Structure 1
Amino acid sequence: MQAVSIHVVDVANGVVATGMRVDIVRADGAPGTAEGERWTPVATGKVGRNGVMDGIEGRERLFDVGVYELRLHVADYYRARGTPSLPQPAFMEVQVFRFGIADASQHYHLPVKLTPWGLSCFRGAA
């Protein structure tokens, strides 16, 4: 079973966020500790026409127990759309959502709903 899936919807425009770049990184060690945070890239992809991040499907061993960050390149996505009200600098350039995987045998679906001004992300069921 695929451990993680990402689905991104641009609720400001009522469409999936096709073409948005998404990076996933894994914490090496304990985030927030005195040693500092070190992150290892796990996957980079784009949101496809179905709203799902490509590059992680069918890769069951990509994720193990640990702490991860989902990095959504929000401003680049809205710039590419030609969003007229996007300020410089953008309110959300790269939005980070940190999540943990406690059981890699389970599925972690992360549905994201966003605008240029905010986002919602939670563990869903897909």
Structure 2
Amino acid sequence: MNGGLSIHVVDIARGHVAQGLELCVKRQDGDVILRGSIDGRGLLPGLEALAEQFGSGVYEVRLQVADFYRANGTALPETPFLDELIYRFGIGDAHQHYHLPFKLTAWGLSCFRGGA
């Protein structure tokens, strides 16, 4: 696969993909590229078809962490540690594919540029 972006989210607190987690991918200027939710494979569907939208530049993924955990029965404080989590990243070479594998709990996050 050349160019584009893929996102995979695993809820490591429960030991499976974060199906139903709402998120949005935006350009840094605020233009929304895609809004959706994580599917049963742990992926954000629809990104593959938008590969040409990802030129060199700065982007954000906005994950609705508190809403996701509350919807799945996790008791969170009124002011959650992670509410809307904003992950800002850059694409330096638009010909390469950028994969973001998020490992998530209500209290923390791990992500890196994967090699998908």
Classify the secondary structure of the residue corresponding to 1:104. Answer: coil
Deviation at 1:10, TM superposition (A): 0.3
Residue deviations 1:9-59, cap 9 Å, x none? 00000010000011111123xxxxxxxxxx211111110000001221222
TM-score, normalising length from structure 1? Answer: 0.87
Classify the secondary structure of the residue corresponding to 2:28. Answer: strand
Structure 1: runs of 5+ lacking an equivalent = 29-38
Structure 2: runs of 5+ lacking an equivalent = none
Question: 2:108 is matched with which residue?
Answer: 118
TM-score, normalising length from structure 2? Answer: 0.94
Greater C-alpha radius of gyration: 1
| Alignment partner of 1:47 out of 15, 38, 45 | 38
Q: Which runs of 4+ in 1 moved over 3 A?
A: none
1:11 aligned partner, one-letter code: I
Matched, 1:66 2:67: no
- Please tell me whether the aligned partners of residues 2 and 59 of structure 1 are also in contact (alpha carbons under 8 angstroms): no
Question: 1:31 is matched with which residue?
Answer: none
Between the aligned residues of both structures, percent identity stands at: 51
Question: 2:47 is matched with which residue?
Answer: 56
Size of the aligned set, in residue pairs, is: 115
